[in-house]
């Protein structure tokens, strides 16, 4: 079963692919679904019924790259396994208790109350897993840790955790805000978008497509949104790749520093996600320029195979500054744990 892994987003063939998979494995006791956005009405991981399915449809536009494809799988799975409980596990739940000053945008009250404009935060399943592993590695209880967690992958974000709770994060109403990402722009001057609409006639659809699919590292480099490609072509003299990586790592440092501003101290800096795990050049360029936070460079470089087997490695030089850890992404394991918890297993 572990070999059955898809790297592409679900598409029209999702039902057939799932049917084929289920024909080869025992009938599951339950199904856990990763749903990126919970919207305003769902604040915990929950069983999927008709009401929950309708609420998820209402918020699909807030995370169109994620929720719409995920709901195709939810629907297919509920048809194929009608007598099995299905649980929605949300990336937003980790941030549900963000303090008011962290989740509030500086816009009129009508926008905040009538339209529901607020910061939600994402990558919560990844952060939950990484936080637990960090506490184990440092030998300290979760509720006595103040850390910055950084998830770097196709989507990228940072999060401040104080005593086990998320108190700030870089993503907002949607997963488009914050750090530069693989193909997503991250934060932009909102005036720039208004200017593009007024002066250059860009439609909402053009802005949506460009900011979600053709920006970030891909837009900067013109060739790839994959840091592995960019590190290689930078070494070959590609100036656009060099600019893309420099912009990306500066964006990460800005995000980390802004998250640290919500803490009293920094007990650890933790990297997770595909880039966080498997791109030592990126980790080094971020940390070597964060001395203002007590973080140092000259990080150790664990073998990826060892990291995946052990699940976690401390990579800072002992006694050199703030601990820096790399945690293998555990979203799948966290979904399994949350599904069992919801069902009382």
Q: Catalytic residues, which ones?
A: 91
Question: Are 168 and 177 in contact, with CB atoms under 8 Å apart?
Answer: no
Q: How far is CA 166 from CA 127, 128, 137, in A?
A: 9, 10, 19
Q: Encoding tokens for residue 7?
A: 């790297």
Give the relative orientation of helices 50-59 and 67-80 as an angle to the nearest 10 degrees: 160
- The rounded distance, in Å, linking the Cα atoms of 28 and 272 is 29
Nearest to 72 by CA among 87, 60, 85: 60
Q: Could you tell me which of 52, 68, 57, 59 has the C-alpha nearest to residue 37? A: 59
List all residues 6 or more positions away from 273 whose beta carbon is below 8 Å from its beta carbon: 123, 126, 150, 151, 152, 153, 156, 329
Residue 226: φ, ψ to 5° = -100, 120
Q: Closest by alpha carbon to 93, among 150, 30, 169? A: 169
Distance of CA 338 to the CA centre of its chain: 17
């Amino acid at each position: 079963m572990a070999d059955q892994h898809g790297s592409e987003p679900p598409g029209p063939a999702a039902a057939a692919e799932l049917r084929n998979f289920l024909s080869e494995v025992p009938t599951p006791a339950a199904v856990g679904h990763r749903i990126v956005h919970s919207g305003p009405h769902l604040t915990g991981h929950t069983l999927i019924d008709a009401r929950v399915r309708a609420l998820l449809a209402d918020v699909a536009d807030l995370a169109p790259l994620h929720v719409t494809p995920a709901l195709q799988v939810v629907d297919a799975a509920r048809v194929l396994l009608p007598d099995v409980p299905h649980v929605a596990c949300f990336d937003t739940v980790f941030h549900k208790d963000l303090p008011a000053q962290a989740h509030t945008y500086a816009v009129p009250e009508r926008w905040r109350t009538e339209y529901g404009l607020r910061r939600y935060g994402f990558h919560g399943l990844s952060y939950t897993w990484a936080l637990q592993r960090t506490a184990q590695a440092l030998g300290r209880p979760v509720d006595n840790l103040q850390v910055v967690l950084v998830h770097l992958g196709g989507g990228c974000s940072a999060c401040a955790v104080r005593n086990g709770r998320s108190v700030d994060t870089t993503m907002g109403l949607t997963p488009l805000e914050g750090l530069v990402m693989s193909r997503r722009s991250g934060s932009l001057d909102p005036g720039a978008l208004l200017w593009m609409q007024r002066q250059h006639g860009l439609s909402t659809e053009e802005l949506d497509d460009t900011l979600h699919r053709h920006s970030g590292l891909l837009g900067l480099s013109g060739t790839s949104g994959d840091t592995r490609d960019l590190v290689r072509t930078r070494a070959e003299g590609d100036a656009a790749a060099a600019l893309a990586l420099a912009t990306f790592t500066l964006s990460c440092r800005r995000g980390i520093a802004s998250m640290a501003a919500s803490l009293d101290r920094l007990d650890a800096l933790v990297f997770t996600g595909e880039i966080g795990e498997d791109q030592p050049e990126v980790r080094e360029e971020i940390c070597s320029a964060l001395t203002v936070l007590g973080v140092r460079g000259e990080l150790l470089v664990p073998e990826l195979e060892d990291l995946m087997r052990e699940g976690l490695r401390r990579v800072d030089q002992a006694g050199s500054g703030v601990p820096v850890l790399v945690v293998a992404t555990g979203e799948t394991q966290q979904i399994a744990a949350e599904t069992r918890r919801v069902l009382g297993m």
